[in-house]
Amino acid sequence: QVQLVESGGDLVQPGGSLMLSCTASGVTLDAYAIGWFRQAPGKEREGVSCILGRGGRTYYADSVWGRFTISRDNDNNAVYLRMDNLRPQDTAVYYCAAGGATTNNCLRERYYAKDNWGKGTLVTVSS
């Protein structure tokens, strides 16, 4: 079990930016693939971005390509999701998860164990 905590969600205007953080205690996040997912009201959870373990590749959903950036901060045992040019359709609860994927499967929810998810942070994009 990997206990993850997301933070950084907020209310932001369209075109604005936010930085989400995913942190953990007791485990080294760099050993895991970390995925960011989101769930909008009335919709299924979807993969947004992920980064493979040990400095591996990054992947993005088409809907956020060029606007979101995922990165690691190993000194602080964290993974960040920088979100720029936010749109109302980005409004959702954002979750991070830790798993062992080694390809772009890290964007798929089923590659993460149920116990390796955070509780989420709410991002609202509205004027």
SS (H, E, C) the chain: CCCEEEECCCEECCCCCEEEEEEECCCCHHHCEEEEEEECCCCCCEEEEEECCCCCCEEECHHHCCCEEEEEEHHHCEEEEEECCCCHHHCEEEEEEEECCCCHHHHCHHHCCCCCECCCEEEEECC
Tell me the mean pLDDT in the region 67-91.
97
Question: According to the model, what pLDDT value does residue 108 have?
Answer: 95
Convert the pLDDT of each residue in 5-50 to its tens digit: 999 999 999 999 999 999 998 889 999 999 999 999 999 999 999 9
